[in-house]
Amino acid sequence: MKSAKPYIAQHKDRFIDELISLLKIPSISADKAYAKDVIRTADVIKSSLEKAGCDAVEICETPGYPIVYGEKIIDPTLPTILVYGHYDVQPPDPIELWDSPPFEPVIKKTELHPQGAIFARGSCDDKGQMYMHVKAMEYMTTTGQLPCNVKFMIEGEEEVGSESLGWFVERNQEKLSNDVILISDTGMIANDIPSITTGLRGLSYVEVEVTGPNRDLHSGLYGGAVANPINVLTKMIASLTDENNHITIPGFYDDVEELSEVERAKMAQAPFSKEAYCKSIGIEDTYGEATYTTNERNSIRPTLDVNGIWGGYTGEGAKTVIASQAFAKISMRLVPDQDWKKITTLFKDHFQSIAPKGVTVKVHPHHGGQAYVTPIDSIGYKAASKAYKSTFGKTPIPQRSGGSIPIVALFEKELKSKTILMGFGLDSDAIHSPNEHFGVWNYLKGIETIPQFYHYFTQMSR
């Protein structure tokens, strides 16, 4: 495969403009008010795949948002790569913390992106990274270099749990059959330290509700004599971790895969500066489970975090009141071989069992998914490694990530193939946060690297 660099240099401005127009559509899957925009985005992806040379591009209807599917089969005896990505984005709030409107993309230089970064919701997660694949496809088809078969499957519900995609995959195993799944929806260590994501954490997400008195009460008249749901909820949450930051739910760690000292020593070789880490997010020191390093805490160890908590009076001034109810949203990041449904049940049983007299507790499970690890001796991993070597000049480091793409474990179960995670974002790109951005250099480097993966994967599959 010839280097895509000259082609990219020639079409760079158009590649950026096309991504910018995609980023202008607020495809927020979590908010029904944006349903039309989500659907419109699917149409834009469909025509972009057609222009990039895919045959038989379709909008596949599901019980939820549509899945865009396209393929190009050049020879059934050649390998097939299935590309997955998502066109939905996270809600942009808190909107007042954005320096420019989330759906009006602008390019600005930053310390880590001296060539500029595109600021917009979804620029890195995942429209920008997904669109690299569309442009890489365009390069290979227009220059007559596509070396194998390709299938694209781009969904619109990743940020809300991929329920419809699960439904679609279970019903279309034949159509989706492939030799490897390729995803760019993760990150890398730094622009001069390429890495390949070899693991994703699982997830169990629950909402809890603590109810005390049947109405809000005067905190003087009743205070001290009744259980205050907010006091109770915060005590219950605090008891879920001990002084070593171990999670106290009985059975929580039973199935956790423990890494050997050799594996941990290997992980510790990845470049990491605790000082830079702290500085980048404005903290004095890190915090977490005793006896584990920061990189272990955020990748190979499970967690329990409150994502939101509310109840009572939060308006201006002071109101003396004991609220009738208190609520929290809690996420547990899971590792191999924890089962997310089992963990959800353990949480529910434990949380209800620690409720004191005077309140009732309800636990509502949301979505979840299994953790995933991919081996580094597969053809897919080796091909990805060579691809990075050819465009970055360095062999990439395997690295397990703390984030989750729950559908990946399901892909392996239903489609029986491994996933290769070639992410080109940086942790500092602020995905899910205000001022999300994606480096122009990263975007173009992705477009350059992806065709090399196609080449090596095809060559090594022979």
Please identify which residue in the block is written with the tokens 């830079």: 276
Identify which of residues 325 and 442 has a Cβ nearer to ligand BES in the complex: 442
> If binding is defined by CB under 6 A, does position 447 make contact with ligand BES?
no
**Contacts of range 91-94, beta carbons closer than 8 Å, 24 or more positions apart:** 91/28, 91/30, 91/31, 92/26, 92/28, 92/121, 92/434, 94/434
Q: Which does 406 bind (CB under 5 to 8 A by kind): Mn ion, ligand BES, none?
A: ligand BES
Q: Which does 448 bind (CB under 5 to 8 A by kind): ligand BES, Mn ion, none?
A: none
Q: Contact region for ligand BES (CB under 6 A) — 184-192, 224-232, 387-395, 434-442? A: 184-192
> If binding is defined by CB under 6 A, does position 155 make contact with ligand BES?
no
> If binding is defined by CB under 6 A, does position 435 make contact with ligand BES?
no
> If binding is defined by CB under 6 A, does position 403 make contact with ligand BES?
yes
Q: Phi and psi dihedrals of 379, rounded to 5?
A: -60, -40
> If binding is defined by CB under 6 A, does position 159 make contact with ligand BES?
yes
Q: How far is the CB of 185 from ligand BES (least distance, A)?
A: 4
On whether the CB atoms of residues 202 and 368 are closer than 8 A, the answer is: yes
- Label residue 402 exposed, middle or buried (CB < 10 Å: 0-12, 13-18, 19+): middle
> If binding is defined by CB under 6 A, does position 396 make contact with ligand BES?
no
How many residues lie near ligand BES (CB under 6 A)?
Answer: 16
> If binding is defined by CB under 6 A, does position 125 make contact with ligand BES?
yes
> If binding is defined by CB under 6 A, does position 157 make contact with ligand BES?
no
On whether the CB atoms of residues 271 and 189 are closer than 8 A, the answer is: yes
Is the N-terminal amide bond of 126 cis, ω within 30° of 0? yes
Identify which of residues 126 and 448 has a Cβ nearer to ligand BES in the complex: 126
On whether the CB atoms of residues 326 and 233 are closer than 8 A, the answer is: yes
Spatial separation of the C-alpha atoms in residues 374 and 85, rounded to whole Å = 18
> If binding is defined by CB under 6 A, does position 405 make contact with ligand BES?
yes
> If binding is defined by CB under 6 A, does position 195 make contact with ligand BES?
no
Within residues 357-386, the interface with ligand BES by CB under 6 A covers: 367
Q: How far is the CB of 280 from ligand BES (least distance, A)?
A: 15
Q: How far is the CB of 195 from Mn ion (least distance, A)?
A: 17
Spatial separation of the C-alpha atoms in residues 182 and 396, rounded to whole Å = 16
Name residue 325's beta-bridge partners.
Answer: 211
Q: Pairing between strand 195-200 and 397-400?
A: parallel
On whether the CB atoms of residues 36 and 29 are closer than 8 A, the answer is: no
> If binding is defined by CB under 6 A, does position 429 make contact with ligand BES?
no
Q: Which does 81 bind (CB under 5 to 8 A by kind): Mn ion, ligand BES, none?
A: none
> If binding is defined by CB under 6 A, does position 161 make contact with ligand BES?
yes
Where do contacts with ligand BES occur on this chain (CB under 6 A)?
Answer: 125-126, 158-159, 161, 185-187, 200, 203, 367, 401, 403-406
